[in-house]
Amino acid sequence: MIRVVIADDQPLVRLGLKVLIETEDDLDLAGEADNGRAAIDLVRRTRPDVLLLDIRMPGLDGLAALREITADPVLVATRVVMVTTFELDEYVFEALRNGASGFVLKDAEPADLLRAIRVVAAGESLLSPTITRRVIEEFARRPANPALNVDLGSLTVREREVMGLVGLGLSNEEIAARLVISPATARTHVSRVMVKLAARDRAQLAVLANQAGLVG
């Protein structure tokens, strides 16, 4: 059973998400919050698998709540999906860097939202090609910052190669096809890189790959 918390300041949005989640046999609504501070408190009490977190909320907004949640080692198992009105929201890049596992649009099809919950609960990330391109373009525009360098010394040549492909937004199956290896081997490489670099999930690893200059 995947336990889900909803955080959105719009009652109608919360109601729609609640009804959708409660119709699924493998999903359980652990609670609702209408602002960032309440979301943090609720997540700490309930320890959900997935938090659907609105970006723009009064008081403590979604980004501030995200930073506090992902910085708490007790909540490492909770995956955060940001809920946004526009896919190219100005805060997408910052949210990814701060540990968001993916994004879902408020007007997404119900099936897409349910898929988002299940994908991130399984430890994967939910990055559309548009968002992946935005991450790459953002790093391309930024000057090198030594303080943000990623230490790749612990990675093998193959692991760096795999990490670069994650940065392009490729799935394990696509990485396997590109490198002529099995999907299971690709998955193992990705997992090892995440452990070595202490990446919270695949989305954060994609950001680190771009940050380290591995995406060509």
This prediction has a pTM of 0.73
Q: Which residues make Cβ contacts (< 8 Å) with residue 22, sequence separation at least 6?
A: 29
- The residue among 128 and 73 whose pLDDT is bigger is 73
* Helix, strand, or coil (residue 61): coil
Ranking 91-95, 101-105, 191-195, 197-201 by mean pLDDT, the lowest is: 91-95
Reported as a pLDDT band with limits 50, 70 and 90, residue 91 is confident
145 pLDDT exceeds 60?
no
CA angle 22, 23, 26 (to 5 degrees): 80
Reported as a pLDDT band with limits 50, 70 and 90, residue 130 is low
140 pLDDT exceeds 60?
no
Q: Helix %, strand %, coil % for the chain, to 5? A: 55, 15, 35
| Cα 214 off chain centre by | 20
Q: Which pLDDT score, from 0 to 100, does residue 38 have?
A: 96
Show the tokens assigned to 129: 């090609």
Q: Which residues make Cβ contacts (< 8 Å) with residue 211, sequence separation at least 6?
A: 139, 148, 149, 150
The single-letter code of the amino acid at 171 is S
Show the tokens assigned to 41: 């408190």
Among 42, 43, 6, smallest CA distance to 21 is for 6
Q: Which pLDDT score, from 0 to 100, does residue 147 have?
A: 41
Average pLDDT over residues 161-173: 88
What is the overall mean pLDDT for the chain?
85
Q: Counting runs of H as helices and runs of E as strands, what totals does the chain give?
A: 10, 5
54 — phi, psi (to 5°)? -65, 145
Q: Which pLDDT score, from 0 to 100, does residue 64 have?
A: 94
Please give the CATH topology (third level) of the domain spanning 134-211: Arc Repressor Mutant, subunit A (1.10.10)
Q: Which pLDDT score, from 0 to 100, does residue 161 have?
A: 95
Q: Which residues make Cβ contacts (< 8 Å) with residue 36, sequence separation at least 6?
A: 7, 57, 59, 60, 61, 62, 64, 65
Average pLDDT over residues 195-204: 82
Q: Which pLDDT score, from 0 to 100, does residue 133 have?
A: 62
The single-letter code of the amino acid at 155 is L
112 pLDDT exceeds 80?
yes
**In CATH terms, is domain 2-126 a member of 3.40.50.2300?**
yes
Tokens 């680190």 -> residue: 208
Say how far apart CA 123 and CA 114 lie, in whole Å: 15
93 — phi, psi (to 5°)? -60, -45
If 0-12 CB within 10 Å is exposed, 13-18 middle and 19+ buried, where does residue 16 land? middle
**So where are the chain's domains?**
2-126, 134-211
pLDDT tens across 37-83, in order?
999 999 999 999 999 999 888 889 999 999 999 999 999 899 999 98
Reported as a pLDDT band with limits 50, 70 and 90, residue 146 is very low
